[in-house]
Amino acid sequence: MSYDSAAATAASPSASKIAKPLPSSERIALDDVPVNRFHIKIAGLTFGAHLTEGYAIGTIGYALTSLSQQIQLSPSEMGMIGGSTLVGIFFGSLLFGRLSDIVGRKNIFLYSFIIITLAAFGQFFAETALQLTLMRFLIGVGMGGDFSVGHTILAEFSPRKHRGTLLGSFSVIWTVGYVIANVIGLSYGESAPDAWRWLLASAGIPALIILLLRIGTPESPRWLLSKGRKVEAEAIVLKYFGPNVRLDGKIETHAHSGYSRLFQPDLIRRTLFNCLFFTCLVIPYFAIYTFLPLILKIMGLNEGFGTDFMLNTMLVVGAVLGIWLTIKLPRRVFLIASFAVTAAALALLALLPQSATVAMILLFSAFTLTLSAVSNLVGVFPAECFPTEVRACGVGLAVAASRLGSAAGTYFLPISMATLGFSPTIFILSAILIAGMLVSIAWAPETKQLTLNQACGN
């Protein structure tokens, strides 16, 4: 059934007799409906996307080892291939975040995975470093679109009681996909000359599954309402949530739209907060874990597989713990306290002598556990902080800023290690976390108990 026919059916007298809806004042708000099968389906489609994305990013490190045996790669070409996905995410987040606010959520929700699927399979046929870089860049463009619209569409359908849990779970699923890629890459990455082709192209299998399952996803009723399409919005609410659920919200018009709207007086603090806190979290995350073997070697903790395995386990455990903390703690408290713990752990780590092995492991574990846990909030705050007409733009801009920061941090960390040394470099990362804490103290809103309209200041 099309949306127009669904809307007409919902508005017709016969439909109202069948549905027998309660008066509007007695209906349950969309923010307060119990979780149903539709919520689970939308969550599954977004979670599956993040599993695919974590897997696709995780495969490249092991594929490069096999690839270099077939194609002679210069250091710049290796860096180009390795960083192309992050660059793609930067551009994809900005482009599709804006498009999602113009043409709707469901279109980008589908098209982003068409790009990811085709580019993932396309890696198998790459013959040069430039061709592989292009495929990885396109995967990143699709991921950027999915990051901006996936968080947005799930936030706009989710009840407030479970919104933090659902949005925060992205981090867990992404980490699981990344770890699966590590296990497969470690086991099969060099099993044959063409192993890199199969390893990279294997990301296309879950991408294709998610793409097919996304066909038929309805438009966000909140987006429809923001565009003045109230009848269509109410028809979708009726179809998926029943006749006794109402859609709260109002149609607003502004002189500014798109990214310029994010920097108007009523939103600029939200915009700066989300871009800055997100960036301050991911710079240490990507910088340290991209060069984890090097850092462990400098710290004298690279003997055997034990420390590396333990820290990867901490990433997964921390991500799961973060879901529970997102439920139990106020958003502000969780974020500010995590910034303080991670900054202190890194600062102490920089001060310890190399002989303090046990203390170093404990501090590094505390840093990893806490950083992984608080990373759940990068899926929560941006989606909750912006009004419907620019929600995808706001999420997309925050994602783009974070990926630009993570790319810069990843690039400069080995340079800083070589020129300044280990301790000063770790102190710089600690200072970045302190900056994130100060930004959060000044600007982080508390959105946990609010409806989506209230959280966005509507």
**Structural domains in the chain, sorted by start:** 22-246 (1.20.1250.20), 258-451 (1.20.1250.20)
| Residue with tokens 């850092």, as numbered in its chain | 295
pLDDT reported for residue 7: 41
Q: Which of 43-47, 64-68, 133-137, 346-350 has the lowest mean pLDDT?
A: 64-68
Residue, of 451 and 285, whose pLDDT is higher: 285
- Overall average pLDDT of the 224-231 stretch: 88
What pLDDT band is residue 47 in, cutting at 50, 70 and 90? confident
Question: Environment class of residue 35 by beta-carbon count within 10 Å: exposed (0-12), middle (13-18) or buried (19+)?
Answer: middle
- Overall average pLDDT of the 182-186 stretch: 78
- Overall average pLDDT of the 51-60 stretch: 85
Residue, of 358 and 235, whose pLDDT is higher: 235
Average model confidence (pLDDT) across the chain: 83
pLDDT reported for residue 14: 41
Angle at 261 between CA 257 and CA 263, to 5 degrees: 160
- pLDDT winner (highest mean) among 12-21, 241-250, 342-351, 360-369: 342-351
**CA 427 distance to own-chain centroid:** 27
**Number of Cβ within a 10 Å radius of residue 11:** 13
- Overall average pLDDT of the 318-337 stretch: 90
Contacts of 337 (CB under 8 A, 6+ apart): none
Integer Cα distance of 85 and 62 in angstroms: 15
pLDDT reported for residue 305: 53
Q: Percentage of the chain surpassing pLDDT 90?
A: 28
Q: What are all long-range contacts of 104-108, with beta carbons under 8 Å and residues at least 24 apart?
A: 104/219, 104/220, 104/223, 104/224, 105/149, 105/152, 105/153, 105/156, 105/219, 105/220, 105/223, 105/392, 106/153, 106/217, 106/218, 106/219, 106/220, 108/145, 108/148, 108/149, 108/392
**394 pLDDT exceeds 80?**
yes
pLDDT reported for residue 428: 94
Say how many CA atoms lie within 13 Å of 345 toward its Cβ. 21
Q: Percentage of the chain surpassing pLDDT 70?
A: 87
**408 pLDDT exceeds 50?**
yes
- Overall average pLDDT of the 184-199 stretch: 80
What pLDDT band is residue 436 in, cutting at 50, 70 and 90? very high
Integer Cα distance of 368 and 370 in angstroms: 6
Closest listed residue to residue 95, CA positions, set 32, 56, 27, 142: 142
What pLDDT band is residue 242 in, cutting at 50, 70 and 90? confident
Residue, of 6 and 393, whose pLDDT is higher: 393
Exposed e or buried b per residue across 97-134, where buried means at least 16 C-beta atoms within 10 angstroms of its C-beta: bbbbbeebbbbbbebbbebbbbbbbbbbebeebeebbb
- pLDDT winner (highest mean) among 67-81, 212-226, 242-256, 308-322: 212-226
**Residue 258 zone, left/alpha/beta (φ > 0; ψ -120 to 50; rest):** left
Residue, of 453 and 209, whose pLDDT is higher: 209
pLDDT reported for residue 252: 56
Closest listed residue to residue 358, CA positions, set 349, 371, 369, 367: 349
Residue, of 126 and 454, whose pLDDT is higher: 126
**150 pLDDT exceeds 60?**
yes
- Overall average pLDDT of the 282-308 stretch: 73
What pLDDT band is residue 156 in, cutting at 50, 70 and 90? confident
Tokens of residue 154, six digits: 């799930």
**Whether 156 contacts 105, CB under 8 Å:** yes
Integer Cα distance of 92 and 261 in angstroms: 19
Integer Cα distance of 63 and 355 in angstroms: 35
- Name the DSSP letter for residue 31: G
- Overall average pLDDT of the 405-423 stretch: 82
| 246 DSSP β-pair partners | 29
**109 pLDDT exceeds 70?**
yes
**340 pLDDT exceeds 50?**
yes
Backbone φ, ψ for residue 355 (5° rounding): -75, -20
**171 pLDDT exceeds 50?**
yes
**17 pLDDT exceeds 70?**
no
What pLDDT band is residue 449 in, cutting at 50, 70 and 90? low
* CA distances to 265, 417, 435, 450 from 384, in Å: 18, 38, 22, 9
- pLDDT winner (highest mean) among 103-112, 185-194, 309-318: 103-112
**Whether 358 contacts 426, CB under 8 Å:** no
Contacts of 375 (CB under 8 A, 6+ apart): 171, 281, 282, 285, 318, 319, 322
